Structure 1
Amino acid sequence: MAVANERNIRHLSLEEITDYFESIGEKKFRAKQVYEWLWQKHAHSFADMTNLSKELRQKLGDSFTLPALAVDATQYSADGTVKSRFRTHEGHLVEGVLIPTDDRKTACVSSQIGCSLSCKFCATGYIDRKRNLNYDEIYDEVVLINQQSERVYEKKLTNIVFMGMGEPLLNYRNVLKAIEKITSPDGLGMSPRRITVSTAGVAKQIKQLGDDEVRFKLALSLHAANDEKRHEIMPINDSNDIKSLIEALNYFYKKTGNEITFEYILFKDFNDSLKDADELIKIYRQVPADLINIIEYNPIDMAKFQKPDEVVTDKFMAYLEKNRVNARLRRSRGKDIDAACGQLANKEGQI
């Protein structure tokens, strides 16, 4: 049986915190003060709550826990990218990245500790999934990266992408709850239109996003435009083939009208031919997608893949453009610190 002080106070609503204060004979307004410390002032311990008496802070500590994510180590790339390794209260490690451009400061956040999908090109896919991140831990990631952005670049975050470690739609409830807090006036107050959730393709959960009428953007990590090739690099395609994903994306769009993007990493001699481009165009035309992000491959030790020659990449892009496809070549950031797409792996000795 759980004891009282095992309850995480951030998993309580304002109403539940109010009930607690009333039960110990305290004024109701104290609940609002505590709630502000938790979600707006970003207190990481009860000791931080300086407008409460020491006695009251002690009572809170006896009744609740306040486990918070902490920055364990930080790396700075030559291109301005900042990678952080965060440590959970029980010692698990997870990574997040601050990606700066002239007009944007983007947080790339993780949703799971490790990943269960085993995509062959992704370093995280070679790490066993330890557990899902709780919504308050995901919120902490964003808060800590935002603080870095303000410190290093004197600007707040403008965008958030769920493209770090793990599959967001396999941690559905926590990801949606985290976004609810991030977009709430009681939290960070960020517009949901500035948030993109990227999925390797869980058709059932993509439809659920539509039913829940979410307001954020969706990106599908496609990376191969036929089932045979996609299965080879992404085992999830076994149970979520391209046809089912096309159907789910159309359902999502019909329900929400939200922006959809395809993500497509180019691998040398695997998915970089003009025939591959043709197959990609056919999928693009079956979905109301806004954009295809063509992504440079970032090598990892565990995989055999290579980046195509520039000439091949240019031909691929030109072919898409010629066929009136809205495509953008996304140059990798943070490669020198293993912070680029597909490289997050909690390398203990390299941070």
Structure 2
Amino acid sequence: MQNEKRDIRALSKEQLRDFFVANGDKAFRGNQVYEWLWNKRAHSFDDMTNVAKSTRQMLEDNFVINHIHVDQMQQSEDGTIKNAVRLHDGLVVESVLIPTETRTTACVSSQVGCSLDCKFCATARLKRMRNLNPDEIYDQVAAIDSESRLYHGHPLSNIVFMGMGEPLMNYNNVMKAIEKITSPEGLGMSAKRITVSTSGVSKMIKKMADDGVKFKLAVSLHSAIEEVRNRIMPFTTSFPLTELREALEYWYSKTKSRVTYEYVVWGGINDRNEDVDALVKFCRYVPCKVNLIEYNPIDDGEFQQAAPEAVNAYIKALERNDIVVKVRRSRGKDIDAACGQLANKNEAAV
């Protein structure tokens, strides 16, 4: 039985160089192929036009490029684009291009489904099937960069890891993907234009700080009262607010990078005065800003957008305490591309 071909993008540049030397070629050929795979975004070995045909055949005999395919691209009336991305094994994830007047942002997925159980999120209703590989994350960004250039006339400017999955539950692959995205040999994007959003996996926040990452950190908080947080995000019983606070203080001591808290206000859940006071208190622990996010219903009545008065109460209290707060209006709601709505509704049969 023939051995299964290796995913060539799982190899480092040094391993590619070694492969060519072992097969009687020059080491620099590995550099050429590496550039085609990452910087030039080759989808097949035939794309590698400055590589001899016999060499391309050798690569074809030994390796495969597990490139993603954008199965379906939906455009919202507000310019948002949602990609249904088919992976090499037939599974589907979603990624989103979010345009504003000044920039385009890629919202990318890190897992097929999600490891967590946030009750207000459509993705959490999908079982986690597997983690995405670094190249699959990279390909989502590259596809959205191409769409940004095509539809908006400029390269992608920002990336947020706020799509399907919990990035810190796929830590190694997310870090490798970001390394490729920020490398001059990859997409050459600045790490400061990348934000990784977590639901609060405390020990991995500390690990990021120890690893000296340069990107920004966002935390999906949604309540600074333990019992409320545990009710809407049951997994947080394993990551209590005291541990999260300690991890964020450690993060700031190491990185001097302020934290963004992502926060949705729901009617009857976290719209009381005590909810507001608890968030203000939590925000005093480390330098931060708060994004109040418009909620996008996911077909049931348990979670509903709070009244404008409740949102205004948060804004006034935060501003009164000199905490930066912004209200984020959702984009792409008409194509289920808004925050919390990614759930493969358009998944085709494998």
The TM-score normalised by the length of structure 1 is 0.96
In the alignment, what sits opposite 1:313?
Answer: 311
In the alignment, what sits opposite 2:65?
Answer: 66
Question: How big is each residue's C-alpha offset from its partner over 1:13-32, in whole Å with a ceiling of 9 and x where there is no partner?
Answer: 11111111111112222211
Question: How big is each residue's C-alpha offset from its partner over 1:148-206, in whole Å with a ceiling of 9 and x where there is no partner?
Answer: 11111011111100000000000000000000010111111111111000000111101
In the alignment, what sits opposite 1:77?
Answer: 76
2:125 matches 1:122: no
Question: How big is each residue's C-alpha offset from its partner over 1:70-115, in whole Å with a ceiling of 9 and x where there is no partner?
Answer: 1010111111111101000010000000001111110000000000
Whole-Å separation in 2 of the counterparts to 1:42 and 1:228: 47
Whole-Å separation in 2 of the counterparts to 1:195 and 1:36: 23
In the alignment, what sits opposite 2:170?
Answer: 171
| Selected match of 1:331 from 317, 329, 332 | 329
Whole-Å separation in 2 of the counterparts to 1:279 and 1:2: 61
Question: How big is each residue's C-alpha offset from its partner over 1:42-95, in whole Å with a ceiling of 9 and x where there is no partner?
Answer: 001112112222221111011111101110101111111111010000100000
Deviating beyond 4 angstroms after TM superposition, the runs of 4 or more aligned structure 1 residues are none
Whole-Å separation in 1 of the counterparts to 2:336 and 2:2: 40
Gaps of at least 5 residues in structure 2 are none
Whole-Å separation in 2 of the counterparts to 1:292 and 1:76: 29
The answer on whether the counterparts of 1:202 and 1:240 sit within 8 Å (CA) in structure 2 is yes
Shift of 1:254: 1.0
1:54-203 → structure 2 map (5 Å cutoff): 54-203=53-202
Whole-Å separation in 1 of the counterparts to 2:15 and 2:313: 59
Residue 47 of structure 1 aligns to a residue whose secondary structure is helix
Give the number of aligned pairs. 348
Q: Report % sequence identity.
A: 55
Matched to 2:329, the amino acid is R
Gaps of at least 5 residues in structure 1 are none
Residue 341 of structure 2 aligns to a residue whose secondary structure is coil
In the alignment, what sits opposite 1:271?
Answer: 270
Inter-CA distance 51–203: structure 2 relative to 1 (3 Å threshold): same
The answer on whether the counterparts of 1:108 and 1:160 sit within 8 Å (CA) in structure 2 is yes
1:188-267 → structure 2 map (5 Å cutoff): 188-267=187-266
Residue 177 of structure 1 aligns to a residue whose secondary structure is helix
The answer on whether the counterparts of 2:92 and 2:347 sit within 8 Å (CA) in structure 1 is no
Whole-Å separation in 2 of the counterparts to 1:274 and 1:317: 12
Whole-Å separation in 1 of the counterparts to 2:285 and 2:258: 15
The answer on whether the counterparts of 1:106 and 1:157 sit within 8 Å (CA) in structure 2 is yes
2:340 matches 1:342: yes
Shift of 1:223: 0.5
Whole-Å separation in 2 of the counterparts to 1:65 and 1:179: 22
Stretch moving more, 296-305 or 93-102: 296-305
Residue 96 of structure 2 aligns to a residue whose secondary structure is strand
RMSD: 1.5
Inter-CA distance 158–139: structure 2 relative to 1 (3 Å threshold): same
Question: How big is each residue's C-alpha offset from its partner over 1:185-243, in whole Å with a ceiling of 9 and x where there is no partner?
Answer: 11111111110000001111011001101111000100111110000011121100111
Stretch moving more, 216-225 or 270-279: 270-279
2:290 matches 1:292: yes
In the alignment, what sits opposite 1:322?
Answer: 320
Residue 73 of structure 1 aligns to a residue whose secondary structure is strand
